[in-house]
Structure 1
Amino acid sequence: MKASKRILDTYAGVLSMNTALVLIVINCLFLVFQISSNAPSIYERGWWPPRPQLMGCVNATTTTMDEPLNMSSIDLSRGDVRFFHPHGIASRLIVEVGSYRNGPRTFSSVVMTSKHLNNLHEILYECEWVSSDDPPLKVKARPIKPDWNMGRLYGTMVLVCEFPRDVGTDAEGGRLVLTAGYAEPVFRSPERFVALTEMRGEYNASRYAPPYPYEITFCGSPLYGNISPQRVREWIAYHAWFFGEKTLFIFQDAGGIHEEVYRVLKPWIDIGRVRVQNLRQAEVYDGYYHHQFTMLNDCMLMSQTLANWTFFFDVDEFLYIPPSGEPYQPTIGSILAEKARNNVTQILFQNVKVSDGLCWKSTRRVLDEPKISRKWAFEKLVYANCDYGWKPDESRKYAVQPQRVWATGVHRSEHMKLDGKQEDMEITTLRAYHYHNTANGRTELCREFPLSPNGEPNSLNVRNCTLDFSMATLAPTIKSYELAMVGKQPFIL
């Protein structure tokens, strides 16, 4: 009996092994067929789940499903052939982020790409429009590299596809297919994938011309670290008031929108004024400053069908329009309308630095104000028009008409379309108070209290200050506006 059982177990084991071998062979044959046929992959985005790993299928033709290697060109007469078996991921040639139609015949795609591979090889990028009604139409993509000198593994690239005629505009739908390949493909095959799919009847020409759903979109840099919920609360309440109701704020979460920050933003999300995009998974790719350039470009291209103007600045910067001294006081809407009439594509505005620890106090008895720590930052911090002993940084931020630029950067766009026009705003017309280092910490800000408009000496070694109370005077208005829009909110430092 025991001998019979051993025979049966052995027979079952052989059958199990044979079954596994048959499955591996079938997988390998399918892979070889797909590579050799050059057929569009069934794993193209939107058609199938992510590519599975084929365990056990390692030979001279391919190592993984992700990067099939063509070994047929190896010269066997030149010594022993050594095979390299990769584990894990070294770098990707191209990482999709987002693709957008810009008009009847123009598309743009934001991708991350390996700078090292692009520097080692000539990479060719191709766009193809595929539909069921017409033959495929192919053009070369124009690559734009806004952050190529930033010294990280992955760089941002905007691929512009301009077809010689309108595509997908007569209700037939179609697909935008991108190909990234090597000019001299020896071992690697081109990467080909569907970047954008339009269903039949989806194209609508009115989306690419005004009026747009919003007047303004805000595109912020990715938020990361232990950000103060209270500072975010103050920023969004102020700018929701400053920009007006037809504004959409788009925030990028690289780990900084933790539970308490999200709690602050949730009421604004509920009324349609804020969108949050979770890009924490992008942190596995080594890009500049939490993929700042990548996400700003993606947000800008998304805004092309959303708003007339897009603003780029940070959550420790507050826009302000100084009083004009005239009966007519300009608003941000009137300023932008004037620039649009004058054919201005981009406006630049200057930062003025505000101390991160110097607060105004009207009397010597600081302790007379027990709730100083619960004041909003912009109602107690001092505009740093002071003698620092060095020249303040006069960096600029900006706004663009997104339909009139190809790609963008952190401090300005250097890729405007042919009719693009740039204008520097005077600091007396539009400025940004920069409350540096106030959002990325959760401690009390005030460390010193100058006691007069001339600024008495203090341990921060800042003297001869001219105090500016412009922002502080707006605090009651902003608090009332917040209460009316989203109700009473908690103070969470």
Structure 2
Amino acid sequence: MKSSTGKILERIPASGTCFSVVAVLVILNCLLLGFQISSNAGRYESTWWLASAPPMACTNASFALDEKLNMSSIDLSKGEVRSFRAHGVASRLIIEVGSYRNGPRTFSSVVMTSKLLNELHDITHECEWVTSDSKALRVKAMAIKPDWNMGRLYGTMVLVCNFPRDVGTDAEGGQMILTAGYSDSYRIPERFVALTEMRGEYSASHFQQPYSYDLAFCGSPLYGNISPQRVREWIAYHAWFFGNRTLFMFHDAGGIHDDVYRVLKPWIDLGRVQVQNLRQAEVYEGYYHHQFTILNDCLMRSQTLASWTFFFDIDEYLYIPEAHSPRAILNLLAEQARNNVTQILFKNIKISDALCEKSNKTTTEAQSMAKQSRKWAFEKLVYADCNYGWEPVESRKYALQPQLVWATGVHYSEHLKQGHYITMDPTVLRSYHYHNTLNGRWETCKDFPQHPNGGPNSVNVTNCTTDHAMLSFAPAVKSYELATIGEQPFLL
């Protein structure tokens, strides 16, 4: 052993000025096994690499294998041990998104995780609450996979930690630690601090009504060249529709460009809108800009913010016939809560993205186009129920009591803790879907059918009917916007 160690030492570059005292001790200890251990990640390289390494290579160990190997599982006695040096980007087992306390003994972590690694290994997840005096309580995590069949590299996982007793409620603080273990003996389990609570941070009032807001809105990630005018119309309408005690949470996957942010800024300043910048997540390949991941993260954030959270897109408009009443939606939700309803589903009515009515019978198409160009989308797009051939599941969105669900999806939640769900009668609550009007900065009106019921036309839709329900709210919404944030520019 001494002779082999001596040969190894002879192959270390002569220039040793870049080593700190601590680094030298670590390397000498590792050389006794014939390996160099990376100081920052527990990674390993066989010693033949040292002979060709440039003298300054010791200042940066980031090129080492990105694996935390368990050296005790490697048999060093049978043949030369080779190293395998990785380059480029590989799959990550867990990408942290957010961790939240859901109550006195329950926590949830929203992560992105490699589907392939989960298929190749029987990954186990463990939760550990460690107090300030280092006492630990461990439980197995419940793993929920809401988008596992969507065919992307990374999927969404909600890890629920439900401890058998209250933890951290004594004002002493602590840490919630997650561990993800592999099925083989070579990889060291991934262990990381998911959440830290400082002394006195816990308060039972965070999980009880009244919350800071009556309602919350969770929107899917926004991407592409979004029309700021359409965003302006949507936020003005729903700020009026939901009332002043509503928080809108938007997620930027590249779609909130300067003009869109300019539209949202007055509402941000009022504390009515929050924007989350998640453009970094685009480097990880997931379903639809990580739609499921972001909605679940937003769900967890809303649990301590509002009694009900709405999930729909910003080309969809909620409608209640009595919406002129400031408490119409709140009264409806309060009634459902009394009936032990945890989730409500509401139907989407499809609106043509191109058909507009002419102003009158004598107006030419060019004149009508000019007059319509300054109208808001829900004023001029009035042709509904056109045949787009969409599946029934795509024609609904939902709202739920966030404290009463484990995880959620895009069109509904399958993971209720308690209560039940109902589908709302469209005459009581429904949504209008202005499909294809958001991602593009162009005039929506493209055709003006002569007959109110439309018929075959340039955008190849049939069986349309006119629906002027939304049109009746336009004056009230515009007046509300003007009174709340002042005059706004028309930015198509």
Closer, same or farther: CA 240–32 of 1 in aligned 2, 3 Å: farther
Identify the residue that residue 241 of structure 1 maps to in structure 2: 240
1:283-302 aligned at under 5 Å gives the runs: 283-302=282-301
Structure 1 residue 58, shift from structure 2 partner: 10
- 1:129–1:138 contact (8 Å) kept in structure 2: yes
2:331 to 329, 334, 349: 334
Structure 1 residue 105, shift from structure 2 partner: 0.7
Identify the residue that residue 52 of structure 2 maps to in structure 1: none
Closer, same or farther: CA 389–446 of 1 in aligned 2, 3 Å: closer
Identify the residue that residue 88 of structure 1 maps to in structure 2: 88
Identify the residue that residue 142 of structure 1 maps to in structure 2: 142
The one-character-per-residue Cα deviations of 1:460-479 (angstroms, maximum 9, x if unpaired) are 34455431111112111111
| Letter aligned with residue 411 of structure 1 | H
1:350 lines up with 2:347 in the alignment: yes
Closer, same or farther: CA 485–73 of 1 in aligned 2, 3 Å: same
- 1:110–1:156 contact (8 Å) kept in structure 2: yes
3-state SS of 1:397 partner: strand
Say what the alpha-carbon RMSD is for the aligned residues.
3.0
What TM-score comes out, normalization by structure 1 length? 0.86
- 1:31–1:65 contact (8 Å) kept in structure 2: no
3-state SS of 2:352 partner: strand
Closer, same or farther: CA 193–464 of 1 in aligned 2, 3 Å: closer
- 2:322–2:328 contact (8 Å) kept in structure 1: no
Identify the residue that residue 436 of structure 1 maps to in structure 2: 435
| Letter aligned with residue 272 of structure 2 | R
Closer, same or farther: CA 448–63 of 1 in aligned 2, 3 Å: closer
| Letter aligned with residue 226 of structure 2 | I
3-state SS of 1:472 partner: helix
1:19 to 8, 17, 21: 17
The one-character-per-residue Cα deviations of 1:82-132 (angstroms, maximum 9, x if unpaired) are 321112330111111101001111111101111111100011111111112
CA distance in structure 2 between the aligned counterparts of 1:18 and 1:124, rounded to whole angstroms: 43
| Letter aligned with residue 166 of structure 1 | D
CA distance in structure 2 between the aligned counterparts of 1:328 and 1:202, rounded to whole angstroms: 39
CA distance in structure 1 between the aligned counterparts of 2:40 and 2:174, rounded to whole angstroms: 16
The one-character-per-residue Cα deviations of 1:253-281 (angstroms, maximum 9, x if unpaired) are 00000111000000000000000000000
3-state SS of 1:213 partner: coil
Structure 1 residue 384, shift from structure 2 partner: 1.7
- 1:227–1:257 contact (8 Å) kept in structure 2: yes
| Letter aligned with residue 209 of structure 1 | Q
What TM-score comes out, normalization by structure 2 length? 0.86
Closer, same or farther: CA 379–31 of 1 in aligned 2, 3 Å: farther
- 2:353–2:445 contact (8 Å) kept in structure 1: yes
Structure 1 residue 66, shift from structure 2 partner: 5.0
CA distance in structure 1 between the aligned counterparts of 2:422 and 2:432, rounded to whole angstroms: 19
5+ residue gaps, structure 1, are 1-13, 34-40, 44-53
3-state SS of 1:358 partner: coil
5+ residue gaps, structure 2, are 1-11, 32-38, 42-55
Identify the residue that residue 371 of structure 2 maps to in structure 1: 371
Closer, same or farther: CA 264–114 of 1 in aligned 2, 3 Å: same
The one-character-per-residue Cα deviations of 1:339-392 (angstroms, maximum 9, x if unpaired) are 011010000001110000001113242334433212111100123235x49677
Structure 1 residue 287, shift from structure 2 partner: 1.0
Identify the residue that residue 487 of structure 1 maps to in structure 2: 486
CA distance in structure 2 between the aligned counterparts of 1:230 and 1:395, rounded to whole angstroms: 25
- When the two structures are aligned, how many residues end up with a matched partner? 456
CA distance in structure 2 between the aligned counterparts of 1:406 and 1:392, rounded to whole angstroms: 26
CA distance in structure 2 between the aligned counterparts of 1:430 and 1:467, rounded to whole angstroms: 19
3-state SS of 2:452 partner: coil
Identify the residue that residue 156 of structure 2 maps to in structure 1: 156
Indicate the percent of aligned positions where both proteins have the same amino acid: 67
